[in-house]
């Protein structure tokens, strides 16, 4: 059974290296069509 790909995932973490790593895992695993990264909760709320 194939999992459904999400349209978008929002990653929120203040560590750029973690965001980069997690974004790569999401794309390589075909979990989402788009990944948006933000480095703070406030930045994510304004998104």
- What's the domain count of the chain? 1
Give the pLDDT of the chain (47 residues) as one tens digit per residue. 467 899 999 999 999 999 999 999 999 999 999 999 999 999 999 99
What range does the domain containing 31 cover?
6-46
Contact assessment for residue 22 and residue 11, using Cβ atoms and an 8 Å cutoff: yes
pTM surpassing 0.85? no
In a domain, 34, yes or no: yes
Q: Provide the pLDDT for residue 34.
A: 96
pLDDT value of position 3? 75
- The verdict on residue 1 lying in a domain is no
pLDDT of 43: 95
pLDDT at 4: 86
Q: What distance in Å separates the CA atoms of residue 33 and residue 21, rounded to the nearest whole number?
A: 16
CA dist 3 and 8 (Å) reads 15
* CA–CA separation, 1 and 23 (whole Å): 24
């Amino acid at each position: 059974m194939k999992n459904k790909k999400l349209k978008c995932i929002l990653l929120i973490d203040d560590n750029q290296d973690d965001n980069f790593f997690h974004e790569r895992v999401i794309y390589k695993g075909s979990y989402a069509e788009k990944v948006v990264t933000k480095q703070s909760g406030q930045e994510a709320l304004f998104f």
